Structure 1
């Protein structure tokens, strides 16, 4: 949209095939710099007033406006990269190689409240699309979006661990976020419930103080992170909150997950859908939908970190 400025009445020059382009060129040359766009807006074709660009409405002088009009809709206080200086750890649940190492992932690790398996294989759709494949794909898409926003993004695993081809264990996943002094950690999963159980839910850490676990300092901030992720996810995917966990709120608090119990930074899990339900599986196996999921999670993280 051309912008003429408050109280500015654009002149109405006669429409002449020679005089009009000369007037435009002279105006731009005289004022130059940042004023060029202003005059261009004043003498541009009236067809541009309805929101179409001059070139799009058949104009022939776009090159005469070297500096476009400023974006008055943008918030001038908003940084170009709103997450600059922020560290986000993305935790793709499970690992594609876990199924080859049943003994290793069955090893028990301490999660504060008790001991639990190092990791699991995760679930899969009825057609064989695994949760580990799904989580890595969404995580990589999410990384791209977050890095575009200026964040430093670290993964707990990227399917290419040089020291292991499985895991990491749930306690190590927590340590990765803690050691990175992450501003936010999101662990990506998909559920494996019964047919007919549909929707997503975000898992929040409950208050735990036992052994190596003390979640009390992060309960409130993690809840806020979870609420923001939920809102972004709904907005971008259109998915409904789980109809079988969380009482329709899309939020579930747990104290039995090592990745949450051992975290010292704000952290949530998101179960993006139920892989064993045919309708949810159709979404989870769609690349378009996975991009929407990544965008929604990102929006939640950005909102949380910006405090907006």
Structure 2
């Protein structure tokens, strides 16, 4: 058998083999985590426990006039007390601390207008300014009433149009917050809604234009009168720590209901 020339053999082999196959494409990367969505900041709630333990000892300071939204009012007052001497300022501070604990446990940032019960003031305009400067989603002022002894029940005060018109932008949201608080506080405490006040919007809900904290509000704001300290039955409740915890739960539930519909 004759041998083919080497060059012819090489050419034949190249013609049969064809082009080299392309390298396979790299498989797509799987399992990569999607980018995390930004976490919205926690809502800020300002709790304003009414009055202060040192107010009575500094009458000149708390009587000094301050802006109140188109007129002036005294810096602060001493508040009321039960017949047995349990003061409104102590009640309000205790309930506010309990509310703060409940809200913080739910992820809310809480700011208090005062951090002890021995100081003087702050003045009512400074309390409103603190809530405004904090950009609060809601401010709740906590009080107890000093009404006639036969009067019973709790009520919520929402802002009406301030004489200087400065709170116009927060009136509607404050009304929503007031109704949320009105419902939740009654459900938690079992107290009736007060009917002894004049000019009620509905039982337990009133609207006022003479309160500096509400007139100066630039963030939704309400005030709770959580019972009548001069009524013997309600005074007995307010001096009971277990009932104060129920009162705090009612405030926290009302705040939470409002935040659920008014924050991202």
- TM bracket (short chain): 0.7 to 0.9
Residue 102 (str. 1) matches residue 102 (str. 2): no
Partner-residue secondary structure (3-state), 2:46: strand
In the other structure, the counterpart of 1:93 is 50
2:179 pairs, out of 216, 224, 227, with 227
The structure whose RCO (Cα within 8 Å, separation 6+) is larger is 2
Structure 2 residue runs of 5 or longer lacking an equivalent are 1-39
In the other structure, the counterpart of 1:129 is 86
In the other structure, the counterpart of 2:11 is none
Q: CA deviation at 1:113?
A: 2.4
Partner-residue secondary structure (3-state), 2:115: coil
- Whether the aligned pair in 2 keeps the contact of 1:209 and 1:215 (CA below 8 Å) is no
Q: CA deviation at 1:247?
A: 6.9
- Whether the aligned pair in 1 keeps the contact of 2:42 and 2:108 (CA below 8 Å) is yes
In the other structure, the counterpart of 1:151 is 108
Structure 1 residue runs of 5 or longer lacking an equivalent are 1-82
Map 1:52-63 → 2, pairs under 5 A: none
Structure 1 residues 249 and 116 mapped into 2: Cα distance closer, same or farther (>3 Å)?
same
Map 1:52-201 → 2, pairs under 5 A: 85-159=42-116, 165-201=119-155
CA distance in 2, matches of 1:113, 1:201: 25
In the other structure, the counterpart of 2:244 is 290
Q: Which runs of 4+ in 1 moved over 3 A?
A: none
- Whether the aligned pair in 2 keeps the contact of 1:191 and 1:274 (CA below 8 Å) is yes
In the other structure, the counterpart of 1:217 is 169
Partner-residue secondary structure (3-state), 2:73: strand
Q: 1:107-162 deviations in whole A, cap 9, x for unaligned?
A: 0011122110000000000000000000000000000000001000000002268x
Map 1:28-67 → 2, pairs under 5 A: none
Residue 240 (str. 1) matches residue 206 (str. 2): no
CA distance in 2, matches of 1:131, 1:275: 8
The alignment's C-alpha RMSD in Å is 1.5
Q: CA deviation at 1:238?
A: 0.8
CA distance in 1, matches of 2:139, 2:202: 24
Q: 1:27-70 deviations in whole A, cap 9, x for unaligned?
A: xxxxxxxxxxxxxxxxxxxxxxxxxxxxxxxxxxxxxxxxxxxx
Partner-residue secondary structure (3-state), 2:143: strand
Q: How many residues align?
A: 221
In the other structure, the counterpart of 2:7 is none
Structure 1 residues 160 and 125 mapped into 2: Cα distance closer, same or farther (>3 Å)?
closer
CA distance in 2, matches of 1:282, 1:124: 12
Partner-residue secondary structure (3-state), 1:214: coil
Partner-residue secondary structure (3-state), 2:135: coil
